[in-house]
């Protein structure tokens, strides 16, 4: 029996993945500050409540787990102390506890780790999955910090750590940028399964995107790990383009995040 811990299971991605990751031979253990009423514990579903910033909570949650999908965190730009505590300290709690149990760690990183990259600078295959950090926000920086902490634990302790640079994981793509950056929920589950099944991946960085016709990011590193996405945002293109906002940021990988006043999700007024 495999036990998979999912942190941040009540958040956006956690909710999309919960049912998709359930399967015979697997116990899902969900950790979040609270669980929705319709999520009920069963022999295959263990519910843990608490914060990823509490090392004791995380150590207990990892006890007996074979792997952890670490989704918990602030998922947009936020004030520096909060981002540091939840995203960086929380990720340390997970990596440090996993380094004592040997559980494989899948870290939810983000495209915003390289958000300031100009799309024009991407090679013919798209931005490589291990492109050096170019964070666009405190949030994006926190994701690069998590990746580099993961690398350190992998190097120092032999832990398997896969950092998933997730594009836009929503039920459907909602803007023009997402026609390039979309990660469908089904492909997200395929990505997690590939990361769990790969024999001894060591430290890797892979893009979490679907096989989008307009993709900006390389699929090569994910494919090397056994991730073969099936979905393509293009089937939503007509609808999305009909509703396109004229001022959407499309020249930089991070899109609208690249314009945020740091620490906030507001933009300065345009001249
Ligand atoms: C992310 O990293 C965020 O968590 C998510 O809210 C989206 O904004 C996504 O990136 C994106 O770039 O679309």
Known active-site residue 138? no
d(CA 64, CA 66): 7
pTM given for the model: 0.98
The pLDDT score that the predictor gives to residue 90 is 99
> Are residues 252 and 115 in contact, defined by beta-carbon separation less than 8 angstroms?
yes
CB of 12 shorter than 6 A to ligand 1: no
Quick one: 2-259 is in which CATH superfamily? Answer: NAD(P)-binding Rossmann-like Domain (3.40.50.720)
Q: How far is the CA of 96 from the centre of ligand 1 (A)?
A: 26
Q: How far is the CA of 76 from the centre of ligand 1 (A)?
A: 7
> Are residues 192 and 104 in contact, defined by beta-carbon separation less than 8 angstroms?
no
Q: How far is the CA of 226 from the centre of ligand 1 (A)?
A: 24
- SS3 label, residue 12: helix
pLDDT, tens digit only, all 271 positions of the chain: 999 999 999 999 999 999 999 999 999 999 999 999 999 999 999 999 999 999 999 999 999 999 999 999 999 999 999 999 999 999 999 999 999 999 999 999 999 999 999 999 888 889 999 999 999 999 999 999 999 999 999 999 999 999 999 999 999 999 999 999 999 999 999 999 999 999 999 999 999 999 999 999 999 999 999 999 999 999 999 999 999 999 999 999 999 999 999 999 999 877 6
Region of 206 on the Ramachandran plot (φ > 0 left; ψ -120 to 50 alpha; else beta): beta
d(CA 31, CA 49): 6
> Are residues 263 and 84 in contact, defined by beta-carbon separation less than 8 angstroms?
no
Q: What are the phi and psi torsion angles at 4 (to 5°)?
A: -115, 120
**Ligand 1: which residue has its CA nearest to atom 2?**
110
CA neighbor of 146 nearest in space, from 215, 213, 98: 98
CB of 76 shorter than 6 A to ligand 1: yes
Q: How far is the CA of 172 from the centre of ligand 1 (A)?
A: 13
What residues contact residue 238 under an 8 Å CB cut-off, 6+ apart? none
Q: What are 47's two structure tokens?
A: 């519910």
CB of 142 shorter than 6 A to ligand 1: no
The pLDDT score that the predictor gives to residue 269 is 77
**Ligand 1: which residue has its CA nearest to atom 3?**
75
CB of 75 shorter than 6 A to ligand 1: yes
């Amino acid at each position: 029996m495999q036990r998979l811990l999912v942190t941040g299971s009540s958040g956006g991605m956690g909710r999309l993945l919960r049912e998709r990751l359930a399967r015979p031979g697997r116990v899902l253990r969900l950790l979040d500050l609270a669980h929705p009423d319709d999520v009920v514990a069963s022999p295959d579903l263990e519910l843990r409540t608490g914060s990823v910033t509490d090392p004791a909570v995380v150590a207990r949650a990892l006890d007996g787990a074979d792997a952890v999908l670490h989704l918990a965190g602030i998922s947009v730009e936020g004030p520096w102390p909060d981002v540091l505590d939840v995203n960086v300290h929380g990720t340390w709690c997970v990596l440090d506890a996993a380094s004592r149990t040997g559980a494989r760690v899948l870290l939810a990183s983000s495209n915003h780790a390289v958000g300031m990259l100009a799309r024009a600078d991407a090679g013919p295959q798209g931005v490589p999955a291990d492109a050096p950090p170019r964070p666009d926000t405190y949030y994006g920086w926190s994701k690069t910090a998590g990746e580099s902490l993961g690398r350190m634990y992998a190097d120092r302790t032999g832990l398997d750590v896969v950092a998933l640079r997730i594009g836009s994981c929503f039920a459907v793509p909602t803007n023009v940028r997402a026609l390039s950056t979309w990660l469908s929920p089904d492909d997200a589950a395929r990505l997690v399964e590939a990361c769990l099944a790969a024999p001894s991946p060591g430290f890797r960085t892979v893009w979490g995107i679907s096989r989008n016709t307009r993709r900006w990011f390389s699929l090569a590193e994910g494919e090397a790990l056994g991730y073969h996405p099936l979905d393509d945002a293009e089937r939503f293109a007509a609808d999305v383009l009909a509703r396109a906002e004229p001022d959407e940021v499309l020249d930089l990988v991070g899109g609208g995040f690249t314009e945020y006043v740091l620490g906030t999700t507001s933009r300065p007024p345009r001249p």
